Every structure is written in C-alpha cells, then in structure tokens.
Structure 1
C-alpha cells in the first residue's frame, strides 16, 4: 500500500482516480465507515457524467475527456491533492448541469433522483434526501422535535435526520436500535451553544448516516447525547 486511507479519498474513488492498491485499501475502508459509504452514494456517478457528456458549446465548456485526463495526471503527480482534484471535477460537472442538462447518478443499481432541467438546487445532500422522502416524525423531550427519512441499501440502512428545538453545547449521536437490541452509531455531531431550531438560531439541523443493520431488522432510532440522555425517538 503506497498511502494510508483517508476519508477524503471518497472523491477520488468516485472519479476512479485511485491507483489499484489505494483503491483496494479504500474499498476495505468502506466496509467499516458508514459516513464514507453515505457520501459515496451522493457522489458516485459523477465520473460517468463527465465522461458521457459532450461539449456544451453555448456555455464554452470544454469536453469532459480532457478534464478527466487532467485529473488523472494531477492525481499521479500528487496524491495529497485528492480533495482539490475532486473539486475540479465537481466544478466541471456543475457547469455542465447549469447548461440545462439532466443528470442522474447510480450506485449499485440504485438510481438517484434526477436533477430537473434548469432547476437550481441549493440544498445539502442530507436536507435534499429528507425533502424528497417521506419523513417519520419522532417523539422528543424538552421541546426537541424532528424526524427521519430512511431507505434500505445493499449495505444496510441510510437515514437523513432533521432535528430542531435543541440547544448546546452538546455532543449527539444518531443510533439505530435493532429488534435484537443491537445498537449501532450511524453518525455523530456537536451542537453549538446557539443550538438548532430555536429562537436566535431558527434553522434545523440536517444530518445523514448509515447503519449496517438492514432496515427490516431495525426497531427504532434514537438521538442521544454523550451523557446518555435520549433527545428523540423515531419508531419504524
């Protein structure tokens, strides 16, 4: 192995820029890293977008083939610029989409929603997934409200969380609780003193994460603090 596995490698992996030993190491890393799997689900297919769309002359955008070649040569020159290389590829793809193209991505045969022609989407991945899904409302304590949108994946369960009415500072985790009682941490975060979805800080928090437990085997989800306090329960 020529380099250690990094979470930022997900972008280079999605574009097919990792060398063989790095690719194998990152695929092994994916098995135990739910955040990387979730991010890859959002980003996968971008390379096929770049390589499958011709030049958009109206917007003076270069053809994607030189862009892919540029990224590959940049990757070979300096692996430490993987994040920057991926941003270049993403910028090229966004420019093509802005030209009125309809783009869809696919991971493991699961099609992602298409970006409608001419539609400007400013939502983050977790908020977009939540907005497109059917939320399951949770039961909170001390004024906390929220819900989840969940979906089955080949690797387990993907969920997007909306959380409001919570003040910090706190450290929280989203946990899946299986019917067997098994608990799996799906994602974690810190709540700043101002909080989320409260006076003075009205925007709710959107997070997403993954659990290796299949959705059919999950009894409920919990948002808990680092001290063990349960803030929200979502039954499925």
Structure 2
C-alpha cells in the first residue's frame, strides 16, 4: 500500500470494513505510523457508539437517495477496484450521516475544534489526551507491566471519561468498562492494540475517551478488559 492509501484506510479499519488481506496490511502499517494510530484511537470511540445502533427509518425521498448512493458505490467499485478504499471512506461518512439524522452521536464528547476529518492526517495532542492531561487522574491497579489512569467528568447525559494506558502489547482487542455500584457493566469505548503495543519499547501511550449513561456517583470503578475476559487495569473512583 502507498502512504496515501494507508492513511485513508483509518476510517474503514475502525468500522471493520477492510477485507482480511488489507486489514493485516493496515495493522502492520500501524506499527510504524503514530499519526494513524492516534487517529484510529479517536475514531474507534465513534465506531463503538455506532455498533448496535438501530437503523433510522428514512422517508421515501431518503430511501431513494440512499439507493442512489449504493448504486453509485457499486458502479465505482466495478469500474476500478483500486478506488475501493476511497469508496469505503465515503461509506463511513454516509453511515455517520444516516445515524446523525436520527440521533446525536457523541455530540457532547468533543468541541467543534476537536472533530476529526476522515482521511486527514493529524499530529499533536488529540481531544482525549488533552482532557486527560488537564484533569486529575485517578490511578489504577494494572496487570503485570500495565499502568494507567482515568479522568472523568459529569455531563448532562452521564459521564465522560478519558483513559491513559501504558505497558500493553498486542495484538489485542480491548474495552473500557464502567461498573456501577450495583455491579452492572457497560462498555464505554473499545479499540485494537497493535503488536507493537502502547507505552512499551518507545511506543507512545494510548489515550481514549468514551461515555457512560450513568452519573459519576453511580459508578464504582472503571476497568480495561480484553475481549477474551482478561482485566488489564482497574480504576476505583
């Protein structure tokens, strides 16, 4: 893959739209590209929010418009398979637009200045890192070599939290979980850990943020867990 194509794969990878060969190639690219890794961390929160969201029923005009978009994407794919990645990015943007027509996705998490443009390469401090560094982190107890903390704040819709995670290697799939005082568990956000990991061997730490519908006073702790059930970090609040 060329550098230009690699960077445009971030949105498609975050939503699981890449085919198996391209997914493996992009994961290899993540090991050497901090810009894509940082952007993937920000986009993964949106991917988790979109997961399981029911389809917003469109009116007849919207159905016609959606059909035209699908037909256009199919014609482009048939005409030139090399444009597939760009088509997938268009599909990501279209999916967000359709969902936004019925609900507000993460509108309280980011100010307009921190919104991420799909396909654009970003450098510097992201919104999750900025919120974490400006807050007072609650430290956690981690598995061997793992360390990190959580900064959280109360919102009208629940709790916004930012995580810093270090000392973890991949490949892994992880989630930030909020555990209520009654023992109920809800995923706040999720991400993939590349083989090079985060906060090890010269790699930067991971910063992620997500949301919970519970208020801070209803939350007992935050946990970072793998999809295989291993607990990497526990942060009591």
TM over 0.5: yes
Q: Partners of 1:158 and 1:147 in 2: how far apart?
A: 14
Deviation at 1:9, TM superposition (A): 7.0
Partner in structure 2 of residue 224 of structure 1: 225
Three-state SS of the structure 2 residue aligned to 1:131 is helix
Deviation at 1:223, TM superposition (A): 0.1
Check the 8 A contact 1:161/1:208 in 2, yes or no: yes
Cα RMSD of the aligned pairs, angstroms, is 2.9
Deviation at 1:143, TM superposition (A): 0.9
Q: Partners of 2:220 and 2:92 in 1: how far apart?
A: 30
Q: Partners of 2:96 and 2:103 in 1: how far apart?
A: 14
Partner in structure 2 of residue 37 of structure 1: 106
**1:26 maps to which of 66, 82, 100:** 100
The within-5 A match list for 1:1-236 is 1=58, 2=62, 8=93, 26=100, 28-30=102-104, 36-37=105-106, 40-44=108-112, 122-201=124-203, 203-236=204-237
Which protein, 1 or 2, shows the higher relative CO under an 8 Å CA cutoff with sep ≥ 6?
Answer: 2
Q: Partners of 2:161 and 2:234 in 1: how far apart?
A: 14
Check the 8 A contact 1:194/1:200 in 2, yes or no: no
Deviation at 1:178, TM superposition (A): 0.3
Deviation at 1:207, TM superposition (A): 0.5
Deviation at 1:214, TM superposition (A): 1.2
Check the 8 A contact 2:109/2:160 in 1, yes or no: no
Q: Which has the greater radius of gyration?
A: 1
Structure 1 unaligned regions, length at least 5: 13-21, 31-35, 47-82, 88-120
Structure 2 unaligned regions, length at least 5: 1-57, 67-90
CA spacing shift, 1:27–1:178, aligned 2, 3 Å:
farther
Deviation at 1:129, TM superposition (A): 0.5
Q: Partners of 2:187 and 2:152 in 1: how far apart?
A: 15
CA spacing shift, 1:130–1:229, aligned 2, 3 Å:
same
